[in-house]
Chain A
């Protein structure tokens, strides 16, 4: 098996997919994505819903034929040497993809045979995987009797059966409780540390991406808008802290915001957002106003900022300082919050 240069396991080049929409309009879901994923790293694709994460994963796992571009897995082209490429890949789909009336063990055995495993090798490997996902005691129960978290674990287990060099995990924590989410994240980290597995992880949740990833690509509207390690990404936006000043229902004028910007050193941006809190029959019962200030070294800027606020006749109800994170990066790059 050949590897790309510098231990690159996955090379994605200008991958694009355009779907034929229902009303005849084309939907450009992925518009020319290029990535390199290195051997042994956890690489995350972070982006909001509809950004094109699943479409990208589908193309590089050979489910969808790309409209343009190609990807090489361990040197094998996914479009021209699909079967060879697929042998290296384990897939954990976004939704639970198991046969509900088969037992956990039967599911694992069935999919194992699809990877040409059999006999004692398969039995041993299924035992190992069951142990890894901690379901040995429930192996003979049907999937339909399992809890959501247990199904997730089997869903992951199927992807691990043939000891793939590369594991795709598409939003594996969506729709599960915090405890099981923790478990999934720990599993991903264990796969990397214990088995040297390369993982391509997708999520729209920046906290978990921040926690587990070696490198991150941010995807929006089908395009990679930034990439690198967490530190590199934050550097790109100039390491600004965000300071949130809660101001309640008070009206804030552009002049007041300008005064904040002018009078405190290091402040690059100050914006005001009002969020109406509606009660029954849609009547506005309260208004929540927040001034977001971007500042280099936010903690230092805080005292003069509060003073300036007082001078500008702004009543601050509470204060929060947030150090730069992926949320800030995304906001900086797109002007939108990741969760929107």
Chain B
């Protein structure tokens, strides 16, 4: 074990004491992400508002049937729709983040909405199920909530926009469930809203009288007053930062190079004779390979971690606000960095094990990194790729960038992403190790 660490540490040391390598690994992606990122926020611009993405074309289909409760009619689906398509003064509200974020169209047919997503008209379709209100209604007999899932049908051609819509929707629905939902942050706004919106006014009126006590057991165990708050939504969206999507994409793109180069160093070591020296020492081939691959993994993890750290500083400088642009759950961010690096190193190991010469690895590795970069949206909007965009899902970049974007939006449902990355990593690692061990015997 200490020999594995010895080799891995040597890899890390050699990599991070090489100034020209650092230029490529850290400075270049940082510069690219900063330029693209700030250009993007500049385009969106507008009164210090740091929401980078706006007017995401979104279709909303409300299939929800109002439900009766305590003699009142509730239409939670409509409430959700209203959040995306406010009317009256609320529609003019410059601070209404949701309004700026989306360009929502109300459709009646779910199939039409999905087709619209498929043909690129919308980035996402929010489809509210027929029994949504009912599933949110808690009676004394039915205290366990089984919320009918709101479907967010997303475009694979616009992964960033789509994941924002998904995140926002899930966030709102989860607030419905935990009872933290209303339309305004303050009582004043609530009242205002109630005056405009008859349906809501009714709910509000009833709610202020007898809604809260009845809902309290299921919705809010701590009996917090129900507050429907755009504030929460707004806060979530505000943390979305172009540096996250572009920075993560650039970091991943350059990390793939590092992974492949680190694995390739095994072929260079063989050419230089240092590998033979390692094999001539009383060390098993497996130990040597594990050391090299652990070194590659460490190179990648450190690179992405450093890039994220510096991107965060750039984010602070650009926004003038102390913040962590990667979201609150740094543990999960670290997990995704690890899983993404593992997948990249595994792929690097396989490429290196198959290639004959280190030069071949350079060429093939470059192509792979390019392919991964292109199809994960590191360089251009995937919508221009049409159906080909699905190829992005074959890249670790897509799953990692998607996970980072979601995490930055406060979403922690990234199990699939982690699983995909870990599976890619484990499978390629094992294949790479097997192929390599056989090659070292020649």
Contact = CB atoms under 8 A, between A and B. Distances in A.
A87 B279 contact: no
Interface in A187-226: none
A228 to B, nearest CB: 28
A114 B273 contact: no
A114 B14 CA distance: 17
A89 B278 CA distance: 12
Contacts of A87: 282
A135 interface: no
A331 interface: no
Interface string B1-28: 0110010001001100110000000000
Given A97-B272, A97-B273, A101-B18, A114 B6 contact: yes
A58 B275 CA distance: 13
A65 B438 CA distance: 11
A46 interface: no
Contacts of B281: 86, 111, 114-115
B280 A95 contact: no
A26 B229 CA distance: 78
Contact of B277 (A93, A116, A118): A93
A64 B279 CA distance: 10
The secondary-structure label for the interface of chain A is loop
B258 to A, nearest CB: 17
A91 interface: yes
A115 B18 CA distance: 27
B14 A99 contact: yes
Nearest to A113: B6
A63 B280 contact: yes
A301 to B, nearest CB: 49
Interface string A112-154: 0111101000000000000000000000000000000000000
A65 B279 CA distance: 12
A306 interface: no
B283 A114 contact: yes
A91 B277 contact: yes
B284 interface: yes
A18 B283 CA distance: 25
Contacts of A58: 276
Nearest to A94: B273
Contacts of A270: none
A158 interface: yes
Given A113-B3, A114-B3, A114-B6, A98 B274 contact: yes
B282 A116 contact: yes
A268 to B, nearest CB: 45
Nearest to A100: B272
Interface in A40-87: 58, 61-65, 83-84, 86-87
Contact of A110 (B6, B279, B284, B442): B6
A97 B282 contact: no
A96 interface: yes
Given A99-B10, A110-B10, A114-B6, A93 B282 contact: no
Given A97-B272, A113-B6, A91 B280 contact: yes
Contacts of A86: 280-282
A89 B17 CA distance: 32
A63 B288 CA distance: 13
A64 B285 CA distance: 12
Q: How large is the interface on B (under 10, 10 to 19, 20 to 34, 35 or more residues)?
A: 20 to 34
Contacts of B272: 95, 97
Interface string B260-303: 00000000000011101111111110000000000000000000
A96 B17 contact: no
Interface string B149-164: 0000000000000000
Contacts of A94: 273
Interface in A153-190: 158
A102 interface: yes
Contact of A62 (B10, B274, B280): B280
B284 A102 contact: no
Contacts of A158: 277
A114 B6 CA distance: 8
B186 to A, nearest CB: 62
A61 B442 CA distance: 13
A102 B9 CA distance: 12
B2, B6, B278, B442: which has the most chain A beta carbons within 10 Å? B6
A87 B284 CA distance: 12
A99 B274 contact: yes
A102 B278 contact: no
A113 B2 contact: yes
B351 to A, nearest CB: 23
Nearest to B18: A101
B109 to A, nearest CB: 64
B441 interface: yes
B437 to A, nearest CB: 12
A149 to B, nearest CB: 18
B10 A83 contact: no
A23 to B, nearest CB: 16
B431 to A, nearest CB: 22
Contacts of B282: 83-84, 86-87, 114-116
Contacts of B17: 101
Contacts of A65: 441
B10 A93 contact: no
B277 A97 contact: yes
A138 B442 CA distance: 37
Interface in B418-442: 441-442
A95 B274 CA distance: 10
A93 to B, nearest CB: 5
A95 B18 contact: no
Q: Which 8 pairs of residues, A with B, have the shortest CB-CB distance?
A: A97-B273, A114-B281, A86-B282, A113-B6, A91-B280, A83-B282, A87-B282, A61-B280
Interface of B: 2-3, 6, 10, 13-14, 17-18, 272-274, 276-284, 441-442
Interface of A: 58, 61-65, 83-84, 86-87, 89, 91, 93-99, 101-102, 106, 110-111, 113-116, 118, 158
26 contacts: A63-B276, A63-B280, A65-B441, A83-B282, A83-B284, A89-B280, A91-B280, A93-B276, A97-B272, A97-B273, A97-B276, A98-B274, A99-B10, A99-B14, A99-B274, A101-B17, A101-B18, A102-B13, A102-B14, A110-B6, A111-B277, A111-B281, A113-B3, A113-B6, A115-B281, A116-B2
Given A84-B282, A97-B277, A98-B274, 17 more contacts: A58-B276, A61-B280, A63-B280, A65-B441, A87-B282, A91-B276, A91-B277, A95-B273, A96-B273, A97-B272, A97-B273, A99-B274, A110-B6, A111-B277, A113-B3, A114-B282, A118-B2
